[in-house]
Structure 1
């Protein structure tokens, strides 16, 4: 092959390779965004609390784990991260139970024990359905807690339901901006199906808010969480953990912050 012909073919090959990459990313994006989901997800074993089921308005059935607290105490509604499991939060349920505070952790559609397939619209529907289910049992004493991807579900839920307060662990301005920073060589805005624009929804969240973030987080940069905090309305508070990253942020200190925040909400309630 002559050098001239090689130079002509090389750019074409690069273009074809790039288009192929874009196609692969587009069609596999939900598998990347929701790694904890699976088409044949088996029910999750009950590692704490009671197994419950929540029916969504669009016909899906969600599995959750529920630890009931005292009737005069708040209950925490947990939305976990994209690769997480409800069963992983026994440590939080136990800590809350020592203060007689309940916990409901819901498994999103497509995740273990729940029907359907995940999408932003689906997860936001799941969040509202879980709140309504819990409200029928715990009344208006609900504190919404979101972690990582689940912070987008928490922000939407609190903006559309009368939660007492909101706790956001490793939050983001949007999945869109996080993806753009991670994949600057791709036309992310044109490709992304589920942008989770918390930046456009946080203004509706008027309840007290607690932001918790690790300074060493390399999955959702602290700068993204701080930016969301800056545009959020008062009352709000942010705690930054200097030695923590994304997956090692839970410790006794942070659990203590969560409990103090929840109990302060109860104390301020008329």
Structure 2
């Protein structure tokens, strides 16, 4: 009976894993009008339509391209858009396929495709460079995008070595390496990112432990910097100080050139 119960659990995890990994998919639509920026739509090479919010910055300032976490929404980032706008910095935040306002269903390959499509759209709007910013799950999208496109900088908030390694930590009793469809192997992609990189992590993070972010940081090529916030966890890492660190990085990238 124990074996049957275990096999049933393995089957349940396998078939429900994408609903667990992408809890924000299929959530309530984005409000109209949005609480920040302009609503735009981006078509991906495989025919999906992504809804996004875009706040245009000054023509001589880089723009930030945001990839959020797995349960997040683009309309949660008015605070970031406003802080960036005060310094003349623009922001594009996309709703992944299957997430509010966008067509399709999420998967690793789908999200990576979305990231490239978003970068290509934004590069046609701005000539002053793009800083890619990923948070949590979105750090895997950000690493892949910066490795394939000429971003001027990369910011990773609560990054992981891989989703596979995080899943192994949370489910040590399951053969995760054989079950996981979307491993998001940032550890295999970070070497391609030669641009300046800023890693931000909360010491109290119990969703993606600091050790996972540090492991990715150690694999990353120079130039790179890591800031650790002693009193922050996973969901409370964004505050005025942290946003100030992001803005400082974006402005330094511009000052120093690509």
TM bin (shorter chain)? over 0.9
Q: Determine the structure 2 residue equivalent to 1:8.
A: none
Counterpart residue number, 1:156: 144
Contact 2:63 2:128 in 1 (8 A): no
Unaligned 5+ segments in structure 2 are none
| Residue equivalent to 1:195 | 183
SS in 2 for 1:137: coil
Q: What's 1:91 paired with?
A: 79
Give 3-state SS (helix, strand or coil) of 1:138's partner.
Answer: coil
Q: CA deviation at 1:41?
A: 5.2
Aligned to 1:146: 134
Partner Cα separation in structure 2 for residue 152 and residue 125 of structure 1: 12
TM-score by length of 2: 0.98
Partner of 2:159: 171
So what's the TM-score if we normalise by structure 1? 0.94
Size of the alignment, in residue pairs? 257
Q: Who is 2:224 aligned against?
A: 236
Q: Does 1:105 align with 2:93?
A: yes
Q: Which has the larger radius of gyration?
A: 1
- Structure 1 runs, 4 residues or longer, greater than 3 Å off: none
Counterpart in the other structure of 1:31: 19
Q: Is the 8 A contact 2:203 2:229 kept in 1?
A: yes
Aligned to 1:67: 55
Structure 1 position 66, deviation (Å):
0.4
Which structure 1 residue ranges, 5 or more long, are not aligned?
Answer: 1-12
Cα pair distance change 1:41/1:56, threshold 3 Å: farther
- Alignment-derived partner of residue 29 in structure 2: 42
Secondary structure of residue in 1 paired with 2:91: strand
Distance 2:245 2:159 in 1: 16
The equivalent of 2:210 in structure 1 is 222
Query: What are the Cα deviations for residues 98-121 of structure 1, in whole angstroms up to 9, with x where unaligned?
Result: 100000000000000000000000
Does residue 126 (structure 1) correspond to residue 111 (structure 2)? The answer is no
In the alignment, the residues of structure 2 paired with residue 254 and residue 181 of structure 1 have an alpha-carbon distance, to the nearest angstrom, of 27
Q: Give the CA deviation at 1:269.
A: 1.4
CA distance in 2, matches of 1:265, 1:53: 28
